[in-house]
Structure 1
Amino acid sequence: MSGQRVGFIGLGNMGGRMTGCLVRDGVAVLGFDPRQENVAAAGATLAESAVDVVRNADVVLLSLPSSRVVEAVMLGDDGVVRAAHEGQVVVDLSTSDPASTRRLHGLLAERGVAYVDAGISGGAAAAEKGDLTLMVGGEQEALDRIRPVLDHFAAKIFHLGSSGAGHAAKLLNNFLNAIALSATAEVMVAGKKAGLDLQVLLDVLNSSSGVNFATLNRFPKIIHGDYLKGGLTNTLMLKDVMAYTDLVAGLGVASLHSSGPMAAFGLAKALGYAEEISNTVVDAIGDVSGGIRLHDPKEPA
């Protein structure tokens, strides 16, 4: 599909960065976001509405906070489904409920429109660099058609299977991310209270069996006061953990480890860190552990 027109709905934290990658590579993007400044910041052309995007694009990309928001944009008299036209491809880059995804896939298929679910991983930094990993569900033919668009912001693209498979994989990945982050936060607070040098502790963990994404990529920054602003919030992390529990319950799988991250990110939300990056879960744990902070603000970062 050469010369395809690209539209983007939801140019927030992640959508704006993905749009920026497209624009920097010379792709003209028609964008819509409730905050018009997000569209301008990403370098996209401002659309009047989400429907305006759909009517004027061959490939429509969505990056929205939840399935509830996706359904609000997709359904109804002024929704994406009614405005979509035959031969179009709609790509949901959100973290969505696989069951909802399959339902929307069916509604769009009736109109001759392909619906691809593409869970993303890598966070704001990878989105900025165009280095995301995508977990895709839907027809292979549809993925092949839109791959040239996705390649502008994704370094790795995996096809997981039929509709909903990409979003299911995304929830599984996010759950492991939530466990690694919340458990490492607890360990680092304990290390601080035990009087350990946190940089040396991280060196030990990263050379031992406790190594994980958080020890490798998050806490080397956090212990120096850099919380890597711009990533998933505590509210969204909690939402993803709850979505994971719904998914595995429907599959008949016992979820024996969900209570930990649910408690940790629930605590962060309750203590006022709801819209802060989820890395601040370490401060929430520190708050209830004697007011501990890994980094002394008086020290240089």
Structure 2
Amino acid sequence: MTSETVGFVGVGLMGHGMASNILKAGYPVTVIAHRNRAPVEDLVAKGATEAASMADIAACSIIHICAPGSPQVEAIVSELMPNMTPNAIIVDCSTSDPNSTMALAEGLEAAGFGMADAPLGGTPVQAEAGELATMVGAPDAVFARVKPVIAAWAGAIVHMGPSGAGHKMKLLNNFLAMGYAAMYSEALALSEKVGITTNQFDSVIRGSRMDCGFYQTFMGYAVEGNAEAHKFTLTNALKDMRYLEAMADGVALANPIGNAVKNSFALAHAAGGDGAEDYVPHLVDYVAKRNGVTRG
């Protein structure tokens, strides 16, 4: 039986499935409620313990955090640290600013704790199935300790290097994904504007060399109308592209394409893109509307 105990902050769309699979792997899991009690109640029914406060979470030896971004992660770590046990490890599964991550890791190490950044690749469905991918930034000793727990919820685990490396790679990954979304949205608006329907466009691209898994997910909304084909919000997409921009600025790299992608999401957000309800494939509607195109 493992000696590790797992705390989990953020059992939402992704965190619920992850925590569920950690339970299945035999680890004691402590969770805490935020706004939505349903995931917590489900996990408690499966054997998890509900924390009365963050101090209960801090008593665990490996603590997962799934939060919207760096400001929230920083606040959570600040609340946890006074009550953490010696050698405890924070695993940040959020998509965070690498500069923040490296600063947090340095502070935690100085206080006798560890940190791993383990951002996620995949969907809530894959989270429930234990088939996420993750790219991990952590010192070797920290990675060795957290890897068995991460293996409970991830099918693919890549150790990228020291603290911050996982979040750097995640931003590059999301740059490609959000870049696809921006290009697909603009291409479909232009397609409709010149008299080629979305279905005609799809009939040429699907199955061709330009097809890919992200394309199929994106077109699950554009063609099939599945509003939940890819449950990643416009707000989070914009946040990630801002983090990418900051990462590029930090090494004095010109990133005009990254800026263009960011601005596509910024325009959608400014036009009313709701972080709670509008997902990345919905960008197609905002780009169409901005160009006077009515989608059927």
Q: TM-score, normalised by structure 2?
A: 0.90
Q: 1:135 to 1:46 in 2, by over 3 A?
A: same
Deviates more, 1:283-292 or 1:57-66: 283-292
The answer as to whether partners of 1:81 and 1:107 remain within 8 angstroms in 2 is: no
Partner of 1:150: 150
Partner of 1:181: 181
SS class of match (2:177): helix
Instruction: Identify unmatched segments of 5+ residues in structure 2.
Output: none
Deviates more, 1:166-175 or 1:184-193: 184-193
- Is 1:287 the counterpart of 2:283? The answer is no
In 2, distance between residues paired with 1:203 and 1:145? Answer: 48
Amino acid at match of 2:100: S
Partner of 1:106: 106
Instruction: Identify unmatched segments of 5+ residues in structure 1.
Output: 297-301
Amino acid at match of 2:73: V
- Is 1:51 the counterpart of 2:55? The answer is yes
In 1, distance between residues paired with 2:42 and 2:233? Answer: 21
The answer as to whether partners of 2:137 and 2:165 remain within 8 angstroms in 1 is: yes
- Is 1:70 the counterpart of 2:73? The answer is yes
Query: RMSD in angstroms over aligned alpha carbons?
Result: 2.1
SS class of match (2:271): helix
Partner of 1:170: 170
* Deviation of 1:24 (Å): 4.5
* Deviation of 1:16 (Å): 2.1
Matches within 5 A, 1:34-45: 34-35=34-35, 37=37, 38-43=39-44, 44-45=48-49
Deviation per residue, 1:153-177 (Å, 9 max, x gap): 1110011111111111111111111
Matches within 5 A, 1:177-216: 177-216=177-216
Amino acid at match of 1:277: Y
SS class of match (1:163): coil
Partner of 1:60: 63
Deviates more, 1:249-258 or 1:267-276: 267-276
In 1, distance between residues paired with 2:101 and 2:189? Answer: 39
SS class of match (1:252): coil
Q: TM-score, normalised by structure 1?
A: 0.88
Aligned length: 290
Aligned-pair identity (%) = 30
Q: 1:165 to 1:83 in 2, by over 3 A?
A: same
Deviates more, 1:35-44 or 1:167-176: 35-44
Amino acid at match of 1:227: A
In 1, distance between residues paired with 2:93 and 2:19? Answer: 12
Amino acid at match of 1:128: E
